[in-house]
Structure 1
């Protein structure tokens, strides 16, 4: 992420206090993202309307089991295995080592791994879904299932994308986003389409991956390896246009989800209601993933390398 070849050397004095200030800001944003995981849990699990909406979305997904998207979603999720995840981590680490940024490579690897481990820990820590409504029925069986929030597959996919952003050079932001984000963003929607997870599981996983990625950047900032970018570096057009594009995509997806939610509340029949809930969940899953990716990109493009090793007093900045 934060580095590119040094064309010139600019010496700037950076104090321990400035590093702590940047670290504190990153940790604050990470804390907000992490708190969002619990907000999603409370809204989706502990409210009257949340479980009903997600049950309807799952029922709508069952209506589409004969469609091509169901099969594609299931095949895509089956590709996110321990072996493919480990191979992706090895590639990310190799990129960092080739660029001679060992600590940055370590930060990227820990970001992706931390998202997966955090998802597993939260699944065991959060209470299961309460029993709602009369016994019987597929929706009721789903509501009695053990806690599945957050989704491990979605956390793995988004964690790998954030790790790639952390490790690659700024000039590679746009290609990496165009190549890696579609698969990461679709993973959350795929878990709903393939009937693997609920919408809240995917959204919580996106927020968890974002929180872990920001916490990793905070650790690197505390070491003095990154600083806020200078104005002339910040003016690069590619990442800025990519950020604007992600904001537009996220806004459009969330707006479509809101429109289907209105249709869900106004549906006259149960099949129509389930269909609207399903497409609302698909749109919300994509919108949440792209929004988290945009937030991470916005942070990354405002940081730059301050050297390859922890700084002590005087810092050398890469332009």
Structure 2
């Protein structure tokens, strides 16, 4: 028994290593697992915010970006059938207050059954804050200036997309509350739906491509920020090194194909529609619409892959692993506290 362990009333030792504050103190060490996860999440959060700012500046605050996104909306009428547009509208109409409440109940039920109360609150907070920030940014902070003298119905600000934020945050919330061993299954079942919602918002004419891409990056930034807080609290631990080949085959590989194919195809078509063809060419709206759909699908898949990569071999809500002191105290018992304190803290 280490010197910093306590005794229960019956005299048996009661280790402190299972408490979150023990892991939080241990996580302050630069080489601890919690510190590494926290640093990784902070960088990903900052990178997501910067990318979101680039998307907003490039597609909303420039005349070229506005013309291209207006062409995307015009391309709906040349590249989509009425049946496809009706299907997109019907799908989006199911994302209501009631469906959101059902999703929150599912997240709560899974978290409570696992007795992971902190993770449950984090998942619910991710969905609520994502929707709140999307609405605040769209309505109050991120304006859409009139740079191309477009018709009034095309100047309505919609950055970022609330529907896409809901779908992506629910999927990320599911990743937080499910056990590590079934994380791949959860992503496989929900990633297709979350990515399709972003594409449907463009197909239905409810949002522009930048709106869906911005919402994906917003949710990723919030998820990474919350995960950094969990790491600071010691709510992360190394997962078992067991491999999951089916996860790679049925989840990672398809998402990688969608991400690479969508982003690659979207960029090529975007360049064609913006710079190669003449603005009056009738093929421009069709190519712009296809480019927008490909970019939205590719971004949704890429954001999902980024979160999975950040959480690789990271078990959320697990009992924190004890931290072993190094250096001159390497031979002492494990733990973040010295064996013999120099002075008593009062």
**Could you tell me the TM-score, scaled by structure 2's length?**
0.79
CA 1:125–1:28 in structure 2 vs 1: closer, same or farther (change >3 Å)? Answer: farther
Task: State the match for 1:201 in structure 2.
Answer: 211
What do the CA deviations read for 1:154-189 (whole angstroms, capped 9, x no partner)? 000000000011111122223222221111001111
Q: 1:151 aligns with which of 157, 161, 176?
A: 161
Pairs within 5 Å for 1:1-319: 15-17=26-28, 18=32, 19-64=34-79, 66-134=81-149, 139-145=150-156, 147-229=157-239, 232-233=241-242, 235-241=243-249, 242-264=251-273, 265-267=275-277, 269-305=280-316, 307=318
1:303 Cα shift? Answer: 0.6
**Unaligned stretches of 5+ residues in structure 1:** 1-10
Quickly say closer, same or farther: Cα 1:308–1:125, change in 2 above 3 A: farther
Preserved CA contact (<8 Å) 1:119 1:150:
yes
Alpha-carbon separation, structure 1, partners of 2:220 and 2:126: 9
For 1:5, the equivalent position in structure 2 comes to none
The 1:308/1:97 distance shift into structure 2, 3 A limit, reads farther
Structure having the larger proportion of residues in helix:
1
- Structure 1 residue 263: deviation in Å? 3.5
CA distance in 2, matches of 1:254, 1:196: 21
Paired with 1:53 and 1:25, the residues of 2 have a C-alpha distance of: 35
Is the contact made by 2:116 and 2:317 (CA closer than 8 Å) also made in structure 1? no
SS at 2:151 equivalent:
helix
In 1, the alpha carbon distance for the partners of 2:179 and 2:244 equals 13
1:191 CA displacement:
0.8
TM-score by length of structure 1 reads 0.85
Structure showing greater relative contact order (alpha-carbon pairs closer than 8 Å, 6 or more residues apart):
1
Structure 1 residues 159 and 306, CA gap change in structure 2 (3 angstroms): closer
For 2:4, the equivalent position in structure 1 comes to: none
Q: Is residue 176–residue 316 contact of structure 2 (8 Å, CA) maintained in 1?
A: no
Distance in 2 (CA, whole Å) between partners of 1:314 and 1:156 is 41
- C-alpha distance in 1, partners of 2:317/2:199? 38
**Contact 2:237–2:320 (8 Å) recurs in 1:** no
| Displacement after TM superposition at 1:222 (Å) | 1.1
Map Cα deviations across residues 221-280 of structure 1 (whole Å, 9 max, x no partner).
1111103445x24x3323344334322220011122123224424345543110110011
**Which 4+ residue blocks in structure 1 deviate beyond 4 angstroms?**
11-14, 308-315
Contact 1:131/1:140 (<8 A) preserved: no
Distance 1:311 1:110, change over 3 A: farther
Looking at structure 1, the residues matched to 267 and 259 of structure 2 have their Cα atoms a distance apart, in angstroms, of 12
Aligned length: 298
CA gap of 1:125–1:39, structure 2 versus 1, over 3 A, is farther
Name the residue aligned to 1:3: none
How far does the alpha carbon of each residue in 1:6-40 deviate from its partner, in whole angstroms, 9 at most, with x for none? xxxxx899513133443232122112112222111
Cα distance, 1:28–1:263 mapped onto 2, change above 3 Å? closer
> Offset of 1:125 from its aligned partner?
4.0
Q: Which runs of 5+ in 2 are unaligned?
A: 1-16, 324-333, 337-346
